[in-house]
A and B are shown apart, each in its own frame.
Chain A
């Protein structure tokens, strides 16, 4: 059975004003440092997870979104609260190596 898809625009719209705030704060630089640049994801709901699963084309049964939500929401809030000094200068740790032979 084909699952109903969701557009990226609709998904992002569902994320609320946080995304716009992030863009603005990023544009205005360190002036926003005193407060977290990214708000804790208080708006996460089973419905949103269901939409995200649709966007990801993930076979997530509707009832499972509610079960998974607590496993994601609190850790995500904790992750987004982390912002040590120098964060903006950090490059990601990645497993990537250009072979010598090119």
Chain B
């Protein structure tokens, strides 16, 4: 097996080889680290590599597996972390200057679960400053480059994680999603990203952006692989006040169930407006594939969805300003370009914050009613493909667009509703840039979302393409 083949195994394939002792965790890690060494100068994926710790963890995993102590599918698998996940003894910057020297006293819950499953942590990935943005053009740690075209952003805020997975520098990674920061960079980098239901994955030990909106979740190159990571990281956490004590299914259980009998809703208004024509064509083709696989496609309406663009700033900014109060008071000049967001958060009246939270309830109720008529919604993940670094598109289909709408206009409604949402690759533009398909389900029904994504993935070749680096 060539080094290229080894690094682009799916997590499941790598795990099977490790379990069968045909490949050792040390071999897997050596392959991805050799590739990282070659590509990191061009990609800038990591803020803090953890290669020495990873080598020690891989040797330990190898020893355990040879001793018959196999822990499961993540055992010995190289996995990268977004740099807002607390790692005991390893700095966690959240892409900020404020936390440049912050060394957490313990692992966050997701990290602890990954380590307990035997995962080999490769390092802490670059991200948009404090997760407030969608480009990962970080003023303190540099821009991460999209592996598909180095002049493009990888998306964000979890852009280092998605670039690492797409480039074959790890088999999975973690991200966080407050307005779309898992699904948007997954779409821009041509990989799979899942945001579970709000409360499904603990956010204890993750540097917060906005407590009532923050979600944690996995990236990988296949739907099955994100399901495997979810099996490890999901679940009730008493340390996390937002964590829900609900049963956790085996997220891989229904991946092969097919689409017969499923009703998929297509909300044309808003979600299919102001799209890059190539994105529109790819998503329309994807709807055809889903129909051919046996799903019924129904046009539906989610009228309050556009309100997410209005509500989000009045929710996230005050929450961010509250957490970052000390930063703003003591070191305001250490902000990059996200400072105005935090300053504005201090000027929002509590009544306006609560007005937004009440209107958010109306959005949730409306979507809940809609999802009694269909099993899931299908939309594009983003309006366009990744834009050039430092040059965001200001128009789409000849009409002006705000940066926020460009980056996360189609994903943010489902952060407000807390819905499970998946992005899977659904094509490429004429420039060779990936396009993502968003699948949104009922609360706590990640299984159906993954089932739809897996069926689509089996029927299409997009996940088999890799960037020519």
Task: Determine if B241 and A95 form an interchain contact, defined as CB atoms under 8 angstroms apart.
Answer: yes
Complex alpha-carbon distance, A60 and B329, angstroms: 10
Task: Determine if A90 and B346 form an interchain contact, defined as CB atoms under 8 angstroms apart.
Answer: no
Task: Determine if B358 and A56 form an interchain contact, defined as CB atoms under 8 angstroms apart.
Answer: no
Nearest residue in B to A85 (C-beta to C-beta)? B362
Complex alpha-carbon distance, A49 and B344, angstroms: 10
Task: Determine if B346 and A79 form an interchain contact, defined as CB atoms under 8 angstroms apart.
Answer: no
Task: Determine if A76 and B359 form an interchain contact, defined as CB atoms under 8 angstroms apart.
Answer: no
Task: Determine if A93 and B360 form an interchain contact, defined as CB atoms under 8 angstroms apart.
Answer: yes
Complex alpha-carbon distance, A19 and B438, angstroms: 43
For residue A78, CB closer than 8 A to chain B, the reply is yes
Contacts of A82 in B (CB 8 A): 307, 310, 355, 359
Contacts of A78 in B (CB 8 A): 310
Task: Determine if B314 and A79 form an interchain contact, defined as CB atoms under 8 angstroms apart.
Answer: yes
Nearest residue in A to B357 (C-beta to C-beta)? A92
Task: Determine if B241 and A92 form an interchain contact, defined as CB atoms under 8 angstroms apart.
Answer: no
Contacts of A68 in B (CB 8 A): 340, 343-344, 347
**Distance between A23 CB and nearest chain B CB, rounded to angstroms:** 12
Task: Determine if B356 and A60 form an interchain contact, defined as CB atoms under 8 angstroms apart.
Answer: no
* Cβ proximity bits A75-102 to B, threshold 8 Å, 1 near / 0 not: 1101110101011001111111101100
* Cβ proximity bits A13-51 to B, threshold 8 Å, 1 near / 0 not: 000000000000000000000000000000000000100
Q: How many A-B residue pairs have C-beta atoms within 8 angstroms? Tell me.
A: 84
**Distance between A41 CB and nearest chain B CB, rounded to angstroms:** 9
Contacts of B100 in A (CB 8 A): none
Contact pick for B354, options A60, A92, A99, A100, CB 8 Å: A92
**Distance between A22 CB and nearest chain B CB, rounded to angstroms:** 9
Complex alpha-carbon distance, A80 and B344, angstroms: 17
For residue A67, CB closer than 8 A to chain B, the reply is yes
**Distance between B82 CB and nearest chain A CB, rounded to angstroms:** 21
**Distance between B200 CB and nearest chain A CB, rounded to angstroms:** 13
Complex alpha-carbon distance, A72 and B352, angstroms: 12
Task: Determine if B328 and A58 form an interchain contact, defined as CB atoms under 8 angstroms apart.
Answer: yes
**Distance between A94 CB and nearest chain B CB, rounded to angstroms:** 6
**Distance between A3 CB and nearest chain B CB, rounded to angstroms:** 11
For residue B304, CB closer than 8 A to chain A, the reply is yes
Complex alpha-carbon distance, A80 and B353, angstroms: 11
Task: Determine if A58 and B343 form an interchain contact, defined as CB atoms under 8 angstroms apart.
Answer: yes
> Which residue, of A68, A87, A92, A93, has the highest number of chain B Cβ atoms within 10 A?
A93
For residue B211, CB closer than 8 A to chain A, the reply is yes
Task: Determine if B340 and A80 form an interchain contact, defined as CB atoms under 8 angstroms apart.
Answer: no
Contacts of A93 in B (CB 8 A): 212, 357-358, 360-361, 364, 416
Task: Determine if A95 and B212 form an interchain contact, defined as CB atoms under 8 angstroms apart.
Answer: yes
Contacts of A56 in B (CB 8 A): 346-347
Complex alpha-carbon distance, A96 and B304, angstroms: 24
Complex alpha-carbon distance, A92 and B212, angstroms: 11
Nearest residue in B to A100 (C-beta to C-beta)? B245
Task: Determine if B328 and A72 form an interchain contact, defined as CB atoms under 8 angstroms apart.
Answer: no
Task: Determine if A94 and B357 form an interchain contact, defined as CB atoms under 8 angstroms apart.
Answer: yes
Task: Determine if B332 and A59 form an interchain contact, defined as CB atoms under 8 angstroms apart.
Answer: yes
A87 with B346, Cβ < 8 A, contacts A76-B352, A93-B357 known: no
Task: Determine if B362 and A84 form an interchain contact, defined as CB atoms under 8 angstroms apart.
Answer: yes
Nearest residue in A to B243 (C-beta to C-beta)? A97
* Cβ proximity bits B358-373 to A, threshold 8 Å, 1 near / 0 not: 1111101000000000
Contact pick for B311, options A79, A96, A97, CB 8 Å: A79
Complex alpha-carbon distance, A68 and B348, angstroms: 12
**Distance between B113 CB and nearest chain A CB, rounded to angstroms:** 20
For residue B313, CB closer than 8 A to chain A, the reply is yes
> Which residue, of A58, A76, A95, has the highest number of chain B Cβ atoms within 10 A?
A95
Task: Determine if A75 and B362 form an interchain contact, defined as CB atoms under 8 angstroms apart.
Answer: no
Contacts of B344 in A (CB 8 A): 68, 71-72
A64 with B359, Cβ < 8 A, contacts A75-B313, A76-B352 known: no
Contacts of B343 in A (CB 8 A): 58, 60, 64, 68
**Distance between A86 CB and nearest chain B CB, rounded to angstroms:** 7
Contact pick for B241, options A60, A71, A97, CB 8 Å: A97
Complex alpha-carbon distance, A92 and B310, angstroms: 16
For residue B461, CB closer than 8 A to chain A, the reply is no
Complex alpha-carbon distance, A44 and B354, angstroms: 20
Complex alpha-carbon distance, A68 and B362, angstroms: 29
A contact residues vs B (CB 8 Å cutoff): 49, 52-53, 56, 58-60, 64, 67-68, 71-72, 75-76, 78-80, 82, 84, 86-87, 90-97, 99-100
**Besides A52-B347, A75-B313, 4 other CB < 8 A contacts?**
A56-B347, A64-B343, A72-B347, A79-B314
Q: Closest 6 CB pairs between A and B?
A: A92-B357, A90-B358, A58-B346, A93-B360, A95-B242, A95-B212
28 contacts between A and B (CB under 8 A): A49-B347, A56-B346, A56-B347, A59-B329, A59-B332, A60-B346, A60-B347, A67-B340, A68-B343, A72-B344, A78-B310, A82-B310, A84-B359, A87-B359, A87-B362, A90-B358, A90-B359, A90-B361, A90-B362, A92-B354, A92-B357, A92-B361, A93-B357, A93-B364, A94-B357, A97-B242, A97-B244, A99-B238
